[in-house]
Amino acid sequence: MPSPDPDKVAAAIRETAEIEVMPLFGKLAAGDIREKGPGDLVSIADEAAERHLTERLQALLPGSVVVGEEAVAADLSVLDRLAVSGDIWIIDPIDGTLNFCAAIPIFAVMVALVRRGETVGSWIYHPVSREMFSAMRGEGAWLDGARLQVADAGPLDAMNGAFSPGFVPDEARRAELRRHYLFHGDPGDFRCAGREYSELSRGRRHFTTYNGLKPWDHAPGILLHSEAGGYSATMDDGMPYSLQRHKGPLLAAPDRDSWQALRALIYDN
């Protein structure tokens, strides 16, 4: 089956953000937001954007199926579509919904294309800055036509990134690490996987860790990071990221050697 034109996918994402997302940024009423679970918000903009993008992407690739964050929230069996052998779109209509609902301008629209079980396309769009990050497998990672490259690895205390707090339960050890690094939830944490993967892929951060591995948060970002030269794997078994695995521990780093050094720093202590 022919692949969709990546530029048309990008155009559909931009259109969705312009029509369904940005008009509501900073303008949501209390009744426009609800909790799907403790601390897990969804807004009417998330739902409208997912509907709009689902229609546009399926029109670009007839016969494809969609796994969207909000569709899964409504019906968990939608995740079963990840096992189909055909083309699958994975959608996060607004990654960073907590920020969006608080009128904090750090959020993204994320899309991945999966073909025969392999992520082959990635698009991460930042509606506020209008930056489009994209990658097709084997063709590099790009920001609006400029090729991306991850940061060079260096001494551990010279690299910057963020840890998941659960990986370092000891408070003394956590305080020691915090002298050099962020923890997710600290001031300065993006609370947006799309922003974090974009910063990794453009070389502004060196590494990140995750425990939750929802496919809409990571399928687009992992491919973008990989095509920018980065290396990632789960720390417990050293395996590549898998769409079928929904919990970590995952570490993304500039290369395999720095991944191993960071793993020893984070996971072996």
Per-residue pLDDT averaged across 16-40, rounded? 95
Cross-strand partners of 130: none
Computed over every residue of the chain, the mean pLDDT equals: 95
pLDDT score for 210:
94
Percent of the chain with pLDDT over 70: 99
List, in order of start, the domains of the chain with CATH numbers: 6-147 (3.30.540.10), 156-267 (3.40.190.80)
Residue 260 CA to residue 262 CA, distance in Å, equals 5
Q: How confident is the model at residue 157 (pLDDT cuts 50, 70, 90)?
A: confident
Q: What is the pLDDT of residues 50-84, one digit of tens each?
A: 999 999 999 999 999 999 999 999 999 999 999 98
Closest C-alpha among 197, 161, 195 to residue 177: 161
Q: What is the token pair recorded at 175?
A: 């305080």
Q: What is the pLDDT of residues 115-125, one digit of tens each?
A: 999 999 999 99
SS3 labels along 129-152: CCEEEEEECCCCEEECCEECCCCC
**pTM for the model:** 0.96
pLDDT score for 21:
98
Provide φ and ψ at 19, rounded to 5°: -85, -40
Q: What is the pLDDT of residues 139-154, one digit of tens each?
A: 999 999 999 999 999 9
Closest C-alpha among 222, 216, 214 to residue 239: 222
The secondary element (H helix, E strand) that includes residue 92 is strand 87-95
Q: What is the pLDDT of residues 181-240, one digit of tens each?
A: 999 988 889 999 999 999 999 999 999 999 999 999 999 999 999 999 999 999 999 999
pLDDT score for 201:
98
Q: What is the pLDDT of residues 107-116, one digit of tens each?
A: 999 999 999 9
